[in-house]
Chain A
Amino acid sequence: MIENVSQPVSTATESLNAARNIIPNQEYLLQGSVMDSAVEVLLHRLRGLCDNVDSGPEPFYDHEMCFSIRGAGSMQPLLLRVRRALDYQDMPWQLRYIGQPEIGDKSRPTIVRNSIDIGTSATVVEFLTELGCRMDFEYIVRGYMFRKGRMKITVSKIFKSGQGKPLDNMEALSQSYLVELSVLAPSGQDAIAEDMRSFAEQLRPLVQLEKVDCKRLQHVP
């Protein structure tokens, strides 16, 4: 292969613009929950429905921190999440920007929101703090991840991290597991939402996966 030595290198912005149509920046999401007593049955059902039947689900044990940064005036703060694997200390950390869910169309089967996932080095927390972000809260999450084609299903339990190291005195936040079904896709691929809904049907009545409107939850007295 003879390299063309005088061909200029493409800049990062050029490649980003060229790839605009294939960068997965939309997240389609369905959420539900299942009591501790019923989670084994759900895991069993998922194990059969999803890919990699023989190797089983992938366990994960993560620590997530949520930051926010306020711009000029009283605009909405920008929310950023940082996640790291506690069981694999050498893996990159994950920085995630999640936008507001698209309101409107009630007939849409899933929540759709802008989401950018960035792998980073371990200095990301210091970086964000110096940037001007403030940590709103943090938690530990432990559970299993299943895959079916492009869909990712997680069954996880959320723990409050204790004082000092996150690994000591973890107390569970509730007696249930959070079940999430999500797909990260480039914008304009709404057909995937239908596939998600039909998959969610297969998990009834063990768990009801549906669009959860967070704003409504916040206003519960």
Chain B
Amino acid sequence: MGVTVLQQFPMVENRTGPQTIEFLTKRVVALGAVQTGQFLVDCETYMSVPNLGPQRTVHVVHNSEAPASVFAVLESGQRSVPLVADGLFDLLMQKMATIYSKKQPKIEAKGPRFEIADFCVKLGSVTMGQNFKGVLVEVEYRPCLVASSCWELVREFLQGFLGSVVPATPPPYLQNRMNELYQPIDTVNQYLEQFAQYRKATGVR
């Protein structure tokens, strides 16, 4: 998996969710991209029961780009422990239902997936439960595995169809890992970072 950058596309007053996706789709296709199906990233959150001690949260994320894996990130205070496991991990979480209970609602990003040269672009509509919350754009540059080598290149690509909303600096999670080999769990963590923002926001952002 190559370096992936997740970018939030802020919602504008006079455009609804589907309209925004369509607007971005036109722009991406104009660059020469071809649609190659749909993608889905979903996150379920489990919280520990009180008598286990201080509160711990487990986010279980599935990414359609890695269909045989389940990603779990445990947050306990300031610490965050990642785990990558295979599909049966969900069954285990079901068995632990009495210790870690599912917190509603589920938050997910889904939408069309495009490919152009060595890039992979995903336009995701974020929904929490039944409510639409915003649009996330994910761009993966497959040939490169180190963020510091290709950040400028990916930023130029993002600007090509998102315009000036793209910041000069990478997402906060990625900033700490610019010189390390990129791994699928890094994409998951970027999604969690964004999902946390969406949870805090009331309404659309």
Contacts and interface: CB of A to CB of B under 8 A. Distances in A.
A13 B90 contact: yes
A132 B100 CA distance: 10
A118 interface: yes
Interface string B70-111: 101010100101111111111110011011100000000010
Nearest to A4: B37
A191 interface: no
Interface residues of B, number: 40
Contacts of B99: 69-72, 78, 132
B72 A95 contact: no
B88 A118 contact: yes
Contact of B98 (A71, A116, A123): A71
B138 interface: no
B38 interface: yes
A126 B56 CA distance: 14
B39 A9 contact: yes
Contacts of A131: 48, 56, 58, 74, 100
A75 B97 CA distance: 13
A7 interface: yes
Nearest to B88: A118
A8 B79 CA distance: 35
Interface in B43-80: 48-49, 51-53, 56, 58, 62, 64, 70, 72, 74, 76, 79
A118 to B, nearest CB: 5
Contacts, number: 107
Contact of B76 (A25, A72, A130): A130
B38 A132 contact: no
A94 to B, nearest CB: 10
A117 interface: yes
Interface residues of A, number: 36
Nearest to B50: A72
Contacts of B110: 8-9
Contacts of A8: 38, 40, 110
Contact of A9 (B52, B64, B85): B64
Contact of B83 (A5, A15, A70, A123): A123
Contacts of B89: 95, 118, 120
B74 A16 contact: no
Interface in A107-157: 116-121, 123-124, 126-127, 130-132
A11 B62 contact: yes
Interface of B: 35-40, 42, 48-49, 51-53, 56, 58, 62, 64, 70, 72, 74, 76, 79, 81-92, 95-96, 98-100, 110, 112
23 contacts: A3-B36, A5-B112, A6-B38, A7-B37, A8-B110, A12-B42, A12-B62, A16-B91, A23-B88, A69-B52, A71-B99, A72-B49, A78-B95, A116-B92, A116-B95, A120-B83, A120-B85, A121-B85, A123-B81, A123-B84, A127-B82, A131-B100, A132-B99
